[in-house]
Amino acid sequence: MIRLWLIDLDDTLHDASRHILPWVNRAMTDYVMTHVGVERESADRLRNHYWTNYGATLLGLIRHHQVDAAHFLHQTHPDAEQLRQWVQPSQLLARRLMALRGRRVLLTNAPIAYARVVLKTRGLDHCFERIFSIEDMRIGKTLSPKPSRPMLRRIIARLREQPARCALIEDSPENLRAAKALRLKTILVRGYRKPHSRKASPYIDHRVESSLILRATPS
């Protein structure tokens, strides 16, 4: 039986791909242009290069350009007023979350201020015992967001659970791959982002459509 559910936020519990992520991508490119001093085309290439090689644009900017993480996160995520226009409440999803047997923890690479506003606007803020945001994902002084296996192992240990008793619900196959390597149950959410492959994968235990999320999540 699953005792701890680790649940992603963007494109898992709400549709971030329609408005929010395009806004974030533009803001990140603008940030690279301003703070690295390159034109837009080069900024796009550099942003994608860092995302591919480090798992997050921010990690590359910290490593190679000494960017302040807090400043970057503040500048590249929509404010509360904008988020409230894009995020819709869902009482049905809240009921499904509350029906899960076990503990529920939000695990997101987004900043804490953003995560709190999205959860509250979505009507899900009462569904989680705590939030682990990107600010919490540090090993020593180094940011190590998903899909970092050491970070995931450390968070599970802090929550005093065993990996085999945990599950990760995510829209990212790469994050699920890391979780499966630690023996977590893995559930892929499809439907908000571009279609994922339907081929069987050794690191994805279950797949659910975004419109059906948590309706038949295995225990």
Q: Are residues 102 and 183 in the same domain?
A: yes
> Among the three residues 63, 79, 95, which one is the final residue of a domain in this structure?
79
Task: Judge whether 217 lies within some domain.
Answer: no
* Residue 213: pLDDT over 80: no
Q: What does the pLDDT look like over 25-78, one tens digit per residue?
A: 999 999 999 999 999 999 999 999 998 888 899 999 999 999 999 999 999 999
* Residue 214: pLDDT over 90: no
Q: How many domains does the chain have?
A: 2
Task: Judge whether 219 lies within some domain.
Answer: no
Mean pLDDT of the chain: 92
Q: Are residues 145 and 61 in the same domain?
A: no
DSSP string, the chain: ---EEEE--BTTTB--TTTHHHHHHHHHHHHHHHHH---HHHHHHHHHHHHHHHSSHHHHHHHHH---HHHHHHHTS--HHHHHHH----HHHHHHHHHSSSEEEEE-SS-HHHHHHHHHHHT-GGG-SEEE-GGG-EETTEE--TT-HHHHHHHHHHTT--GGGEEEEES-HHHHHHHHHTT-EEEEEESSSSPPP-S--TT--EEEEGGGTTSS---
Task: Judge whether 218 lies within some domain.
Answer: no
* Residue 146: pLDDT over 80: yes
pLDDT at 195: 59
Q: Are residues 103 and 134 in the same domain?
A: yes
Task: Name the residue range of residue 34's domain.
Answer: 20-79
Task: Judge whether 101 lies within some domain.
Answer: yes
Q: Are residues 87 and 75 in the same domain?
A: no
CATH value at residue 65: 1.10.150.450
* Residue 124: pLDDT over 50: yes
Q: What does the pLDDT look like over 154-201, one tens digit per residue?
A: 999 999 999 999 999 999 999 999 999 999 999 999 877 665 556 668
Q: Are residues 56 and 129 in the same domain?
A: no
pLDDT bracket for residue 219 (50, 70, 90):
very low
Q: Are residues 35 and 63 in the same domain?
A: yes
